[in-house]
Structure 1
Amino acid sequence: MSTQSTATAPQGDALDAGVLKIASVVVLGAIMAILDTTVVNVALQKLTIEFSTSFDVIQWVSTGYLLALATVIPVTGWASDRFGTKRLYMLAIVLFLAGSMLAGMAWNIETLILFRVLQGFGGGMLMPCGMTIMTRAAGPQRIGRVMAVLGVPMLLGPIGGPILGGWLVDAVSWRWIFFINVPIGVVTLLLSWRLLPKDAPEPSGRFDFVGMLMVSPGLAALIFGVSKIPSAGGIGAVEVWLPALAGLVLLAGFVVRALKVPNPLVDLRLFKNRTFTVAMVTMSLFFVAFLGGMMLLPTYFLLVRGETTLHAGLLLAPQGFGAMIMMPITGRLADKVGARKIVVPGLVLIVGAMAMLTQVGATTPYPVLLSALFVMGLGMGCTMMPITTSALQTLQPKDMARASTATNIVQQTAGAIGTAVMATILAALLAGKFGVPTAQGQLAATAAILNPESHTAATGLAADAFSTTFVWSLVLVSLCLIPAFFLPKSRPAVPSEAGDEITPPALVH
């Protein structure tokens, strides 16, 4: 298979031109998918007015995309082996392009939600499939470098999305938040056809239909239930606990079954690899803690400081700059030393920055806030991709598709849980400050802040709520240090091509 030859070709430490070409294609696809999510989020208010609908209904523009993502990700590992990663990646781009074009032409809210689901089916395959292509092309000894490259769109999306989305909605039209994907997608599709290596399908057994009917709806139900926590005001609401419980039951059933059948949809035998398991635990805690905390920052700038969406996006830029400084450095280091030596210092930086944010007030000087964001970005550059690198370094090339699928499932689920938890804590604190039910906390704070008579007092109360929420985020990030100390402290051995399990020297403590 040509992909194997690419991966096993003689390789130096640096990424060669062939790998960089492949990386450019994958990064373009990732930028398209990640940017789209953040661009759409800032346009929800405009879409509510455009389609004369309620905020609960318009949320399905984002929720529908997220659920489609969760549904299709588990299938990606099997499909990558069965049809080849290049074919699947191009199919994902076509689906995403079609969804983007149709969403831009939507004539009512129902069609917009439907076309966003189509987008989600494509977007859900882009990241795991792209990760598989890049890690196979670079080989296990250079995974750190390619993960650093793939980390760029993960940073640019949350930072550039609000800026681009705010400008498109205000200056052009909401339809262009979808049409903007078309030229990027066409270029990515052409480059994929020209530059990605051909790979032959490797059918590894029958498709696990029963597993799909358990894990895909299970993930979707769990994420849907969790995503309803902020609007419902807590986990006691039926629309929260019922789908979440159903999702957990389905996922638990899948785990029990997957350990018994020969070719499960998600290969849980990967977790026999201790390094992979520790990395996944660390990643889960990190995404819950960190992504949840990051949701607070733009909301603080918009609600407490009265910034526009565009300005709020610009104020987050130091975080991206810090991460972009560190990522190339940690990418090289991750291929030479153990992840523990990179991730633990990174988490310490994030803890320090988060501690600064626990002191945030209504008039905290911007240089202090931007400094905290820059330090946090440095920490991000030391954590996100090195953790993923650690998970993949000791795996064999044939396991990359299934491992990329498992990694993306963890990221999506943990991110959704973290965002919902922090949003609920913030809403509850705001509700307590303004004397309203939890579900109305942010709405009451916004109304009080917009009232000139109560503005000063209201911004102070809202800032107090944010600082306390950051304390919770600080605690969760600090807990990430526990599994991080179990990450490898030296460079893992490169897996052999023979397919035998190995015990990396990194596991000797």
Structure 2
Amino acid sequence: MARGVRRRAAVGAGLVGALVFVEFVSGVLQGYYTPLQTDIARHLGVGDADLNWLEAAQLLVSALAVPALSKLGDLWGHQRVLLWSSVVVAVANWGIAFSSDFVVYLIFWAIQGVFTVWLPLEVALIFLRSRGLADRSSATRRATGVIVAALQAGAIAGALGAGLAAAFLEPLWAQLAVPAALSVLVVAVIHWGVEAEHERRGGVLDGPGLLLVSAALLCVVGGLSLVRMVGIASWWPWVVLAAGLVLLVPFIRFELRAPDPLIDVRVMTKPAMWPVQATAMLFGVSILGAQIPLTTFARTDPAEHGFGLGLTASQLSPIVGGYVLSMLIGALLFARVTAVLTPRLCLIVAAVVVAIGYGGLVPFHDSVLQLLACMVVAGLGSGALVAALPATAASAAPENRTGVATGLTNSAKTIGGSVASCVFGVALAAGATGTAASLRGYYTVWLICAGTAVMAAVLLTFVPRLAFADPARFEEVAP
């Protein structure tokens, strides 16, 4: 009993305390640049629609890096991989701050996407550190809710801080140096604040599997990029896209035979696992792919283009802050609601709430209040899903594959976001006038986000009713 109390205290006060700061800065990185995107586009000499390719490149790097780094976390230690990934992110952030060329900025922006592995590694650390607790799954969900709340708080601080920086710091590089400096502090906190506790396990990194899945992802995203470059009527993009899908067949076959696969296909096909991973991919469409379209719509001048809100970076910051605040609330509520309802039902409700929020933008987008109301609704469901997906994946995975399972939720999410960014880039560019995207393109973005959320809710109904619940609670509920 005393040992369980000591372990709970160690998880809550020590590990989670340090990870709260890490996720806070992660949130700053996700919220800070958003209000400045239009200014960055003008600085780099590109249009609004071109910003989607920045997002697509970063999400692609995330999708490629997270499986490998998550696996290395299981093999070498999650703290060690967390530390070195933070070093890479710090270097990329300083590169972003001083980039003036679009290609250079694109490279550093893509490399910055490595920070998406932080949350999966943190959840794996928490799950492994809580070994021995009777309510291990619930304890993981509670701790995950706390660090995700810190992430959302950081995003709020980042969005508001960007508005202040835009008002008081004149050179753009000075504004972009703020998150770069914070990322250096993350390296120090992980080095001195997160204990390098790890039981080394046997196994190696699945190089051939990583190569196959990387080639498949490159073909898929490359095919979507070609659609925009050469047009939808050309057959080349579809050949490249089909090649990416075909490459998944040898990848799956190889993983089934591999003694230590990069992605354990058998585990991922379990009834409690595959709907969660599919939901993560569908969720990535809205949480990652729709960020830039929302901000560029809000900053589009209605007097010139007939739609948009014509907001400045400073005026947009509170709206982004309100959206992220609703995500924070959703993340904190998830762990509490699962104490009353089953985790599966909470996931379904969260997906439905996201669909309502984005679907509402189609008729209601003519004022700041309408846009904010729809974003707050979508944010409540999004926050719950951000906290829920890695925690539920950890609960459903074997002990030695928690890093891979939680990392795969982020990989699936970034794949969905990467594909969505390419599709949204094509949709927004169709009928664009000058640097502004088309209103029809924005309608397409919102409808796709709502539709994928509905699909996720349907897929989650295939999860066993008492999946992800603690054994003690299962005994109480089961007949």
TM-score tier by shorter-chain length is: 0.7 to 0.9
Corresponding residue to 1:374 among 369, 373, 376: 376
Q: Highest relative contact order (Cα 8 Å, sep 6+), 1 or 2?
A: 2
Cα distance change, pair 413–8 in 1 and its aligned pair in 2 (3 A) = farther
The residue aligned with 2:304 is none
Shift of 1:221: 3.7
Cα distance change, pair 215–98 in 1 and its aligned pair in 2 (3 A) = same
| Contact in 2 for aligned 1:39/1:162 (Cα 8 Å) | yes
Name the % identity.
Answer: 19
The residue aligned with 1:86 is 79
Shift of 1:42: 4.1
The residue aligned with 2:324 is 320
Shift of 1:423: 4.5
- Number of aligned residue pairs: 463
SS at match of 1:480: helix
Cα distance change, pair 359–394 in 1 and its aligned pair in 2 (3 A) = same
Shift of 1:76: 0.9
The residue aligned with 1:251 is 248
Corresponding residue to 2:279 among 279, 282, 290: 282
Shift of 1:272: 4.2
Q: Tell me how far apart the structure 1 counterparts of residues 4 and 409 of structure 2 sit (CA, whole Å).
A: 23
Residue 86 of structure 2 aligns to which amino acid in structure 1?
A: I
Deviations 1:364-398 (A, max 9, x none): 34333333332222233343322433222233432
The answer as to 2:403 corresponding to 1:401 is: yes
Shift of 1:413: 0.3
Corresponding residue to 2:66 among 68, 73, 80: 73
The residue aligned with 2:412 is 410
Shift of 1:280: 1.5
Residue 69 of structure 1 aligns to which amino acid in structure 2?
A: S
The answer as to 2:362 corresponding to 1:358 is: yes
Q: RMSD of the TM alignment (CA)?
A: 3.9
Q: Tell me how far apart the structure 2 counterparts of residues 322 and 11 of structure 1 sit (CA, whole Å).
A: 31
TM-score where L is the length of structure 1: 0.77
| Contact in 2 for aligned 1:392/1:400 (Cα 8 Å) | yes
Corresponding residue to 2:125 among 129, 133, 137: 133
| Contact in 2 for aligned 1:37/1:62 (Cα 8 Å) | no
Shift of 1:309: 3.2
Corresponding residue to 2:23 among 17, 27, 40: 27
The answer as to 2:182 corresponding to 1:184 is: yes
Shift of 1:189: 1.9
Residue 354 of structure 2 aligns to which amino acid in structure 1?
A: I
The residue aligned with 2:344 is 340
> How does 1:27-426 map onto structure 2 within 5 Å?
27-28=23-24, 30-31=26-27, 33-35=29-31, 38=34, 41-49=37-45, 62-106=55-99, 108-109=101-102, 111-120=104-113, 122-138=114-130, 139-152=136-149, 155=152, 164-165=161-162, 168=165, 171-200=169-198, 202-226=200-224, 229=227, 231-232=228-229, 235-237=232-234, 240-288=237-285, 291-292=288-289, 295-303=292-300, 304-334=308-338, 337-360=341-364, 364-425=366-427
Shift of 1:147: 2.5
| Contact in 1 for aligned 2:53/2:425 (Cα 8 Å) | no
Shift of 1:258: 0.4
| Contact in 2 for aligned 1:84/1:199 (Cα 8 Å) | yes
| Contact in 2 for aligned 1:65/1:119 (Cα 8 Å) | yes
Q: Tell me how far apart the structure 2 counterparts of residues 55 and 445 of structure 1 sit (CA, whole Å).
A: 6
Cα distance change, pair 415–159 in 1 and its aligned pair in 2 (3 A) = farther
| Contact in 2 for aligned 1:77/1:266 (Cα 8 Å) | no
Residue 411 of structure 1 aligns to which amino acid in structure 2?
A: K
The residue aligned with 1:453 is none
The residue aligned with 1:452 is none
Q: Tell me how far apart the structure 1 counterparts of residues 243 and 175 of structure 2 sit (CA, whole Å).
A: 34
Shift of 1:317: 3.1
Deviations 1:185-207 (A, max 9, x none): 23222221222122236243233
Deviations 1:458-485 (A, max 9, x none): xxxx657645653444333323221122
Q: Tell me how far apart the structure 1 counterparts of residues 239 and 34 of structure 2 sit (CA, whole Å).
A: 28
The residue aligned with 2:12 is 16
The residue aligned with 2:454 is 478
Deviations 1:286-328 (A, max 9, x none): 3335655555432332222222233233223332232322322
Worse overlay, 314-323 or 111-120: 111-120
SS at match of 1:316: helix
Q: Tell me how far apart the structure 2 counterparts of residues 181 and 505 of structure 1 sit (CA, whole Å).
A: 47
Cα distance change, pair 316–268 in 1 and its aligned pair in 2 (3 A) = same
Residue 274 of structure 1 aligns to which amino acid in structure 2?
A: P
Cα distance change, pair 235–72 in 1 and its aligned pair in 2 (3 A) = farther
Residue 70 of structure 2 aligns to which amino acid in structure 1?
A: G
| Contact in 1 for aligned 2:74/2:402 (Cα 8 Å) | no
| Contact in 2 for aligned 1:135/1:146 (Cα 8 Å) | no
| Contact in 1 for aligned 2:285/2:449 (Cα 8 Å) | no
Shift of 1:338: 1.8
Shift of 1:263: 0.9
